[in-house]
Amino acid sequence: MNRFYIFLLRIFLGAFFAVVLMRFFYPAAGALYVAGLGAFLVGLAYLLEAGRNRSGKG
């Protein structure tokens, strides 16, 4: 898989889990909050990958 497909997969999964989490914990949340959580989840995935690669385990 090249990096673009991994990026698309992370975007899709981040959006999916953002919607599920926001609807479960905060049903009245607007689209902007869901988008913010999705962006946070994707950013967190990249930060965790960078940390894993830095420590030499990846």
Task: Summarize pLDDT for 16-29 with one digit per residue, the tens.
Answer: 999 999 999 999 99
Torsion angle defined by CA atoms of residues 48, 20, 26 and 36, in that order, rounded to the nearest 10 degrees: 50
What size, in residues, is the chain? 58
* pLDDT at residue 47, rounded to an integer: 95
* pLDDT at residue 1, rounded to an integer: 81
Query: Where do the domains of the chain lie?
Result: 3-54
For the segment 5-17, what is each residue's pLDDT rounded down to a tens digit? 999 999 999 999 9
- Burial 9-20, CB ≥16 within 10 A → b, else e: ebeeebbeebbe
Q: What percent of the chain has pLDDT over 70?
A: 97
Rounded CA separation 43/19 (Å): 16
